[in-house]
Structure 1
């Protein structure tokens, strides 16, 4: 009997609690505010990232001139940091709407962060290494680099990881703390080296005059060539060919395209001038029986 009364009393209290209109108005208000916080967070994030992108647009006539590669790196890093900060503030506002006291949460977060700092030393190492990579300008977004054993174009430099995309499309994600060696191909001009082979019967002086005409065209037509290509002279004497070496100073990481253009134009000009390029030949000697 007493148990039945207890259940009846519990049911009445639960009914009264759920039937209270102020409860549902309060829940609806909090739910609407949470939805508004999420929407405003999305809008603010988009606006903030657009503002960051606009701030880091390179101004040609500005007093402070910074390389575009460094601007891209700082832009990505600032954009990520801004997004994380906005998300953190939005999370605090949502917790406040859920009725959670933020004081103990922040204190707990500080204690937890201290514990993580002691335990996750590799994470701290990654962040510190990422800071010095950006501060010392070791490489930047858009640079063509070799990091450890990976070669490709830097897509993103974060505080913890660096993303490198190679020429076949794979993206390598490397923790900054594990970066031991870096070779940056984008800091200085590169040199295209082309070896041209001709037969021993050709006149070397005439061949070099033809090459000079070709190289002048290359310098005029290819904007990546910084200085007019140079003919260094005879590089090697092969079994059936004479090798003449050409060098061309060009913009960073453009040497392969310049070298391909030089080879194509040299071949076309050699054919037009009647200069022979050596290639393997097979001589067939008929036997006495075949002659008969």
Structure 2
């Protein structure tokens, strides 16, 4: 059965607003809230960048039943995997066992300012090693990796372990990370624009890799980004904090000023072409139904941008109820 989540973006909202949105999402019937983790926003003229772990702690106190998901933290450079495990375990305890850890190989805008941001092969090798620390630590085990290449640990265990086993989901936009998720993580996280491509290059790959390794099928956590606006002018206004997100070379860029300049050179039409626009929530129903039918996710989260603070989770309650009736 697919559960439904609401995505909370630190890149747009100040942390106190995200805590309020999380509470409203839970009251509106969403099963989970997914919280981004950013050191900097996507552009430098608008946006925010609160501390993800701190916000999650406040959300844990402000909610009662919703699952909390980091979407996603990078445990490779500015955050050591042992510290990420400690934060995840603490959140699990503070939330009464409601936390799931989403991790990813990072982005230059968040990692480069505090150190180096190498190419994908090294980042994937680091992630492979990091997962070998995160999962046993969150299972309450003592880890000994004195000869590890990137994160040597002589001997360590968490002294405030999780109340329950915290699942670890690996973000994937393509087949290499998806295969790693299937082999080494508890699930895969991905953002969906085209369900067929995501199915072919991410979900199917992760499931096949888990099967080949003799593991249980990975949990599949998907999100889709939509703009709720009546016209292009409203959509551009809603996308101001996000216009650097889908610019060329955005993964390696280290400055939100760079991304703003690239986005503004692209122009309105190119920015709008990168996002699905709807005039009202019910217009998303057929797309979400096709996504659920094709990909069979364990969780589907909605990320919504709207002008004038119009992205209220309660506006999507009927959509979620209709989707649940279909399942």
TM-score (norm 2): 0.19
Q: Relative contact order: is structure 1 or structure 2 higher (C-alpha 8 Å, sep ≥ 6)?
A: 2
Kindly indicate which of the two structures has a greater share of residues assigned to helix: 1
Structure possessing the higher radius of gyration over alpha carbons: 1
